[in-house]
Every structure is written in structure tokens, then in C-alpha cells.
Chain A
Amino acid sequence: MTAAGPGSAGADPFDVDAILGRAQRLLEQARGRGVDQAEVYLEWSEGLSVEVEKGALATTAAGRAAGGSVRVVKGGRLGFAYFTSDDKAMAAVDAALRNTRLATVEGYSLPQAGTTRRMPGRWHGDVASAEAAVAVGLAKDLLAGAKEAEPAATVSGGGVSLDAGCWAIVSTEGAECGDRSTMVSASAAVILEDGERAISTSEGRSRHDLAIDASDVGRIAAQTARSLRKPAEVPAGGRADVIFEPEAATELVVEWMIGAANGDDALRGKSAWSGKLGTAVAAPGLSLVDDPWLADAIGAAPFDGEGLPARTFPILAGGELRTYLFDSWDAHRNSVQTTHSAVRDDFKSRPGTGTQHLQLTHANAVARDRLLADVQRGYLVESVLGAHTANATTGDFSVTAPNVWEIRDGAVAGPVQEIALAGSVPKLLLQLDGVSKDVKRMSGLRMPAVRFRDVDVSV
């Protein structure tokens, strides 16, 4: 994938020292334009992908992008602007300076740099330099895995992508961070005819290196589809125990928890967890930790989006809310300290508050079979439709579970037709009574299956 970076013909665009050097040069230029403080962020990214459609390989694509942004402080006021080439960086500095004049928050200072350390295992040169044949081979493995598991299944979407990125943050307050990482992802959306209707399932996986088992991704998606054939009707709704598989639990529960733990929202009173610091907000024993230093933490980085050293800290511990999340901006507005929780979407957006790599655990986690064994009558939910429509503030949700099995007498009895689930995530967390020891490793988190008691089910 490697190609020359912008303004550096023939150079390796993933050379961290080179991108740091460019950022330092731009920072020096910014100092001369009347700023009190400045921060320069630069990134370079390349991607290669092979899409899959109708059981065959489809579009093969490649993209590359370069860009950067500046944050400047003048008189305690913050301004931001972005640019796509170094020759436009000072125009961005001037624009950011103009924006400071409109700022209403005063007294802000860019964060003081800390000492960052290396986070090994995230850069694999063979991913960055891979030819298209590597991605094509993985995509063929994905198709073969699905076909082998269920010949009647068709991989209708998904594919394989290989991405590489390099970035740097430098500031007048001593930040000088550069890093690079690679990511290999495989996903499969599978369709399986089932009488007049079709079953659709999906599976995905990411790693930093090329050791991804794409065949297994296709196989799991196809096997799941096969296990959902000929679903029985659910005769009546009511309250039932529900076990969410890791993806479903992530979409419905963990995404909401990240928002609820946002410190700025919480301190403004607009989170269901406002005023709950130090109190029980989930079942005893449940912990949620942001731990970028976990071995093989996919998607983590050694520093946050402002160049501060990545930290491990509990959001929940033993069911108790321990920490609200802040980047330096949110921290300043609420007169607290940053938790080093700044994240960046891309160079066109300011850093915001988020998480690096979450891990949900329970003091009494059990094997997945035990999680099922304790359910007399309930459902095992593989995916939910409409999780993003849940009320991000209150946590009220009303979703459909299209891929679901009935649990009877401690075992999976068979697939059933879709059910509707409703409730409130904050209340659901108090009804949680079990998580599995087995976890699914995903980009940005590590997640077990989760069991909740007495969930409202409609049919």
C-alpha cells in the first residue's frame, strides 16, 4: 500500500520521525503568528479493501488521505481549524485565531505533556506494504469458510480491509507524540433462504496483523444463519430472562454506558448517571474498565487524542460508578482534571471525550454454558435492530431482536421468530445477573455475553 506522503516525494509516509518533524516545523511557524499556545496534529492514512457481493469478490478499492489540524489558544480562548496540505497550515492557524475571538469559554490552556511509552504490537509493515493479492486471498478464505459451513448460504456483503495510519501531535506545552498502527478487518453478511423468507446474519473481526482467520469469520456467519432456520412462533410476550451475545450487548448497553459516563454531560445533569458517582449503578460485581494497555487491545493507542499518556482506569467497579470521562476541554469547563480520554475521529474534527479500549467483566463470570444453564425460560439474542434509536440520555429503548433462540430448561431449544424488547438501560444494568468468561475481542472493546433477568418481551 505504501506510497509517498504529501510534500515528501519518495519518502515513507509511515515514518513516525518524519511526520513528527513536519509537525514541529508547522508548530514553529504557528508560534510566530501571535498565538499564546498551539497544537499541531498531522495524520496520514492508507486503505486497501476487497468487497464481497453475491457470493463473489466485487469492488477492489484503495484510498489515501493526508491532513492536519491546529488548536490555538489566545487569551485563554480556544480556536480550531483543519487543513489538507502543509502549505495551507498557516492559513488554518489564522482561521483558528479568528475563531478564538468568538469563544465564550475563557481560561483554557492546552494540556501539559506527560511521558508516553511505547505500545508494541500495533504496527505490522507487511500489512502496510501488502499487495492487493493479500486482501484478495483473505476475501476468498472468507467466502470459502461460509460455503464450507453451509453450502446454501450466500455471502451477500462484507469483505476484507487492510488499513495503515501514522500520526503526530506536538504542542507548545511539550506534547511530542508520534505513532503508527495497522488494522486488518474481515466481515461477512450472510443470507440464507428459509422458505418464503431469508435469514441474515453477520460476523466481523479485526486484528493489527495479517494472522486474521477470515475463513472462520465466514464460517461463523454461515453457521449462525443455519442455526436460525425454521424459527418457531413465540406464543406470547411477557417478562423473560434474556442473554445478549457480545455484539448485541455492545450495541444496546455498552454504547449507552459510554455516553452516560461522559463527564461533561453528567456534571451538567443531562446523563442518567448524573450525581451517581460513588453509587451503585449496576449489579454488584460488574466492572467496566478503559484499559488501552491490555495485551492485544485492538484499536488502542499509547496516548490520547491530545497527546497525553493512555491510562487504565475503572468506569464501573463492583457495580459502582467510579469515574466520569473528560478530555482537557470538558475538564476545563467543569473545573476538574482530564482523564486522558480525548479521542479524534479524523483531522477534520476537534478531539472529544471518549474511550480507548473497554473491558466489561464480572467478579463471578461463568462459562457460557453456565450462563444458559441458569435460565428456565428465556431468549438468547444474537443481534438487535434499532439499538441506535434508543434514547441516548434516558437509556429508554425499544428494539427488535431478529436473530433469537429460545432457552428452555437451561439449554438452547431452537430458533424463534423475532421478538421486541423494551426497557431502560440503566434499570437493565441493575437486573444484570451474569456474564460469560469467554469474551469477544473487537476494535475498542472486549466483551462477554451478558444475562439480564425480567426483560419486557413483546411479540
Chain B
Amino acid sequence: MALVKVRYGAILSVALFILVFALLCIYGRGFFTAENLVRSLLIPASMSAVIACGMTLVMIGGGIDLSMGATAGLGALAGAALGTKVVSSIAAAMFSGMFLGSLNGFFIALMGINPFIVTLTTSFVAKGLQFLVSLQKAQSTALLWSLPMDRIGSSASFQIGTSLFVVIFLYVFIGKTKYGRYVKAIGENSEVAIYSGIPVRFYSWMTYVIGSVLAGLSGVMLTSYEGLVRVGSGDNFLLDAFLLPLLGKAVFGRLSIGGTVFAALFLAMIVNGLYILGLPPSWVNAMKGVLLFGMVVVSQVGRR
């Protein structure tokens, strides 16, 4: 067994990141300005990093949560409908996330049902709740944020600060506490974890709760930046949440908060760079797909 495994994929990917960044600095007019880096790179990256870090925790525990997109949407709608102040909005969003997360966790960790099936079905439930909240509040499928929340949502320090807090919290939680180790152990081998005396069901349940709370929070971050919440606002987040941890894993060989954040930054940089280089907006998504595809293939170099 090789003691030191050189991950050519990781080295190549990081080199690619630096190369793309450098090229954009040289050729992209206005790329390397504080305004652009904060508004168009860090803020989108921090929104998707929050939900993707929640998913990373769930995935490290050996699960998956496909209801996160719907949960993010529900959190945003609940926040906009119930809260008039900043704190109460965010609390409402996180509580609705907690509700769905504990529902998921109950069926997955306590009843032992396949996470795919459970979270798929709860995403239907969350979609229904989105319509319910929105129609009850305003007879329409879109709500406006309250003024204070709107103002704080468009500030860069709120977006990036929240994201930084979440990232650091989860990094410490997973990497430096025994609870994080429990979650890792469960993800590696739940049978062994049981025999090591770890309360497997509780910690598995907990990953879903934390993940969904973060999903609700990221829903608030996204929609308060835009000022408007629609039913289905969070749907696009599902892909981010799902893709970023796996990209991080493809690059660094295992699921980690660092890898997820790297993937979020990389993706945001690609999108920003393509816009700045003057690609027509309708082509940006296609190019993003092509580059992602290339990156995934490159990251597999030297594997097996």
C-alpha cells in the first residue's frame, strides 16, 4: 500500500484555478477590481457555499438530501411571510428548515429508509408548503421582502459574513470536534460506528437538521439579495448543493468543507469570467457546463 498518494487531479485542478484567475486578471477588463470581485464573484459563491456546505455535512454522514432546493425556497417564503424584522425573518426561515430536516432525519435515521426516496418525497411536501405559505399570505406566488431585510440582504458584508461564519463553524465542527468525527465514522461505516458506541441514529438525524437549517438560511440570502421571493426560488440551488460537494470530492479525493468552498469559488469565477469576456448571456450556461465537464474529467487523472 502506498503511503503517500499523489493526487494529480487535485494539483491539476488547483493549477487550473490559478491559471484561469491569472488569465482573467490579464484579459478580462475590470475583472480584478474590488467591486467586481465582491459583487459578482464572492457574493454568488457565498450563497451557494452555505447550502453546499450543509449538503457536505449530510454527505459526510453517508446521506444525501434532495429536498434542499425546496427547503431553501420554503425558508425564504416563510421568512418573507412571517418576519417583519431581520431577526424574526431569519429565525422563521431556519425554523422551517429545521422542521423539514427533522422530518427527513426521522424517516432516514430512525426508520432506516433510503435517503433518496425520503428526501425526494419531502421535496414534494416542501413545494406544497411553499404554495401554501405564499397563497395564504398574499394570494400570489411571489412575496416581497420587508424593507429592513431587503436592505441588509443587498449588503455584501451580510452575505459574505454569514457565509464565512457558516464555513468556519462547519469546518471546526467537522474537523476539530468529536461530534464531527462521529459523523465521519457513520459515513465511513455505520455498522462499526454502532459497535464503537456512537449514537448513530441521533448524529445521522442531526446532519439532516443542520443541513436543512443551512438550506433555509441560504434561501434567505439568495432572495433577500434579489428582494423578491417566488415559489420555486430555491429550486436552482438543488443543483449547486448537489454538485459542489461532489466536485470538491472529485478534486480533493474526499468530501470536505474546503473542497466544497473551492468548488463554489471556481464555479462563480467561471461564470463571472465568461460574462466579463463578453460571451453572450445565453451561452454562459453552456460554456459553464463544458468547463465543468472538463474539470471533472481532469480531476479524475491519476485515479485508479
**Do chains A and B stick together as partners?**
no
| Residues of B bordering A, CB below 8 Å | none
| Residues of A bordering B, CB below 8 Å | none
